[in-house]
Amino acid sequence: RGGFDALLPKARKDRGSARAIPQCVADVLCETKDQHPDFSVALVIEHVSRFARIPDDVVLAPSTVHRLLARAGLMQKTPGEPTSNDRRRFSFDQAGELWMSDVMHGPSVRIEGRQRKSYLLAMIDDATRIVPYASFAPSESVAAFLPVFEQAIRRRGIPKRLYVDNGAAFRSRHLALVCAKLGV
């Protein structure tokens, strides 16, 4: 019946229409968003659930409502909207104002006849993206980090700020004292 063509996928007849939301509810959602363009999807759902007659069996999932409103052209951002602003991260203008440091797991290496994990300890200048110093070490401790920090300072000078995460090498009282003495 239908031959080879019957095996080909067919386009859905209801494609582009919301199947999870009845048309009457979709109209109310679109009307609410049109009247209150500043409402988020969650607020539209809350407003409609509170003030409109919605059948009990209809579940208004935020992703479904967002898709419905977007297809209706009601989810456009306005230029003055806070979410339209530039969201790039902060950055410093001058070299040495901020150095960032982190540790990355490196390859396994043979040390004294045994396979050991290695760690890459690196520093990067925020403004110039220059790497003042980076080195592999057999651990990610403060004892491994301090020589990297020292070499970076010898090559590029003392930074004004040092930005690190909460890694093992950076949670050290000794590192805090070193930075305090250097004025970092």
Query: 3-class DSSP state for residue 178?
Result: helix
Say how many CA atoms lie within 13 Å of 45 toward its Cβ.
15
Pairwise CA distance, residues 47 & 81, whole Å = 21
The domain ranges of the chain are 16-81, 99-182
Sign of the Cα torsion 9, 13, 17, 20 reads negative
Per-residue model confidence (pLDDT) at position 153: 95
Q: What is the pTM of this model?
A: 0.52
**CB-based contact 30:60 (threshold 8 Å):** no
Helix ranges restricted to H, 80-184: 142-156, 173-182
Per-residue model confidence (pLDDT) at position 54: 82
Parts of the chain with a pLDDT under 70: 14-18, 78-89
Per-residue model confidence (pLDDT) at position 86: 59
Pairwise CA distance, residues 177 & 184, whole Å = 10
Per-residue model confidence (pLDDT) at position 97: 93
CATH superfamily, with its number, for domain 99-182: Ribonuclease H-like superfamily/Ribonuclease H (3.30.420.10)
